[in-house]
Amino acid sequence: MNAVPQQSPACLLLRFEGTAGEVCVPNEPALLQGLTQLVPSWKYTCTPTHGKACDMPHNCITRINNSQNTPYTFDIESVYLDEPLLGLPAASALCALLADVLETHIEESPNPIALHAGAFAIGGRLIAVTGPRRAGKSTLIARLCAEPDLQIFCDDVLPISPQGEGVALGVAPRLRLPLPAKASMHFKQFARQHMGPHDSRYGYLCASNVALHGVRLPLGAIVVLDRQTDTPACLHTVNEDDALFYTLEQNMGQFNSPGEALATTQALLGKITCVRLVYGNLEEAVQLLRKAFDGKEAINPDLQVKPAQGWVPPTPETHTLADTGRVFKRAPTAALRRIGQSAFLWQAGEHTLWRLNTEGQAVWALLEMAGNARELAEALAEVFVEVPQKQLEHDVLKMLGKMWAEGFLIEQ
């Protein structure tokens, strides 16, 4: 069991097994009880600070404080963020905390591969599910939680040992909300019954079939999701070079050199099956996965698997221009993260980064105060004097439209 102190200190230092850094949290039941729900099997120590300030960035990777401005919300500082996250509800604060713990775990892990993927166990082997952003990975893993005979390893990060075993971290899967309009009644009822900490964006599913922290199983297959509207579910083989490229692209682990990355990934792929799942209906996808992998063969020989095609993961869709008069401000879950000379926007709990150009960085800086496109363009005109006002306003409208669609902004 996780150690909980008998006293009621103002702040606690948590150290998760397998990580060197600590996280500092206030002694708030909403956070501590939520954490128990989300990582019931990942052991951590809990030490009172006795009024001493936590030491960032030397030992403490994340610090959570009660927000001074918005009741029942939290502010977060992190060694991974360029600026703090402010006014987060408990579920989002837990999401950001776990993202940092996972990041530290990956950095310190001896496992060179950590796939940005969900994974479930069926028939004694592990199936990883990955795909481009918004391909439905989190929703599919959440739906698989409703299959009691399956074991859920993860919904986002799958460490893989040098022996080719997937390692469960014991973290509850997170579901993007609201559920798809076409979700089955069975899935909706399951989600309601097992919903843990949640807010308007995400909810954690506290299901009984989540694998315990540290459980290992041989990786048997990688499934790349390709969601297409009104398309019957089917499987395609994946060319060897495409599988290699895509697996390398999805890896968040650490390699010493490109040569090591290629050799290690090729060795892993040589032992497993790699297929692309084309689907439009979630229930069809679940049944197809069960039929494909619920047996002793690498893939069910009675199932038709179509040949590989020249498929490339889709690029993000073009976003609509924002309305000129709409007033936006930064979303509380969004933050700027600097890597080298570049600046990226990041959402709490997400592994996707959006790179900003010079204009984008300027717009983000101005959005510390709420504003509309016209006001932002006027301010930018004082800096980008060589760019016509109309062009600036068009660029800002485009930028705001994308930031809004990606959840980095909220409307004032």
Query: What ranges do the domains of the chain cover?
Result: 11-108, 113-306, 328-411
Model confidence at 28, pLDDT cuts 50, 70, 90, reads very high
pLDDT at 5: 44
Section 138-161 average pLDDT: 95
Model confidence at 403, pLDDT cuts 50, 70, 90, reads confident
* Total-model pTM: 0.80
pLDDT at 340: 52
Q: In what order do the strands lie in the sheet with 195-198?
A: 174-176, 202-205, 195-198
Q: Over the chain, what is the mean pLDDT?
A: 87
pLDDT at 394: 86
Poorest-pLDDT segment among 190-199, 223-232, 387-396: 387-396
pLDDT at 276: 96
Q: What are the beta bridge partners of residue 353? A: 346
Q: What are the beta bridge partners of residue 25? A: 12
% of residues, the chain, pLDDT over 70: 92
Which among 24-28, 176-180, 341-345 has the top mean pLDDT?
24-28
Section 280-305 average pLDDT: 95
Burial class (CB in 10 A: 0-12, 13-18, 19+), 1: exposed
380 vs 224: CA distance, rounded Å: 42
Poorest-pLDDT segment among 178-187, 218-227, 336-345: 336-345
Residue 111 or residue 340, greater confidence: 111
CA–chain centroid gap for 65, Å, is 23
**Residue 58: pLDDT above 90?**
no
Poorest-pLDDT segment among 106-115, 119-128, 140-149: 106-115
In Å, the largest CA–CA distance within the chain is: 67
Poorest-pLDDT segment among 70-79, 245-254, 259-268: 245-254
CATH architecture of 328-411: Orthogonal Bundle (1.10)
pLDDT at 8: 53
106 vs 103: CA distance, rounded Å: 5
SS3 204: strand
pLDDT at 181: 85
User: And the tokens for 248?
Assistant: 């390398």
% of residues, the chain, pLDDT over 90: 47
Give the tens place of pLDDT for each residue, 191-208.
999 999 998 888 999 999
Residue 8 or residue 89, greater confidence: 89
Looking at residue 143, its amino acid is: R
pLDDT at 129: 97
Poorest-pLDDT segment among 28-42, 350-364, 373-387: 350-364
| Cβ count near 243 (within 10 Å) | 22
pLDDT at 172: 97
Which among 91-95, 282-286, 360-364 has the top mean pLDDT?
282-286
363 vs 357: CA distance, rounded Å: 10
pLDDT at 353: 64
Q: What are the beta bridge partners of residue 65? A: 75
Q: Using an 8 Å Cβ cutoff, are 82 and 335 in contact?
A: yes
